[in-house]
Chains A and B, each alone.
Chain A
Amino acid sequence: GAVVSQHPSWVICKSGTSVKIECRSLDFQATTMFWYRQFPKQSLMLMATSNEGSKATYEQGVEKDKFLINHASLTLSTLTVTSAHPEDSSFYICSARENEQFFGPGTRLTVL
């Protein structure tokens, strides 16, 4: 099946700093990618839909100025968590769709 990668796989940062997470579709082009967040023992929650060449579409309750999404090419979308705080600590997962939706391995963000 298609492969979606994420980088980094984990990151620890200080409160107030910004963190960028990359999502790449390795063997197919994706005009649309999705970003999810998952807290421990909970389900995945869709944060936003990333559209190549246009603005991302955010789900209700997700701050677009805090979670910046850039989809500059057909194989790369980035999520930047700005001014991160401990409550932003979570597991961030991206996905991209070919025939089915393929998910990346996730990025564990810990904000101290």
Chain B
Amino acid sequence: DVKVTQSSRYLVKRTGEKVFLECVQDMDHENMFWYRQDPGLGLRLIYFSYDVKMKEKGDIPEGYSVSREKKERFSLILESASTNQTSMYLCASSAVNQPQHFGDGTRLSIL
């Protein structure tokens, strides 16, 4: 069974802090994704990576960056956290042209 693990279920940070959200998958998937999930807006793609050190912007990349130094790990970075980045963050992974598998999510609050 595919396992996508997000390092924290809940995280509280202050505005202006640099925040790291970590995601690890154990199925050697090429693709990894970061979404944010907000009521009424569904899931919106922040960034997508299709290989180590490769990334593409999603629909809402502003204020975020990502890092993929190893195939199994995909990090989301909030360079200077703001209150409008309070949200649920979901990581997903997939093999090429296969369905995505999701982690449990990290509920991030920016105070």
Say whether A and B bind each other: no
Residues on A facing B (Cβ under 8 Å): none
Residues on B facing A (Cβ under 8 Å): none
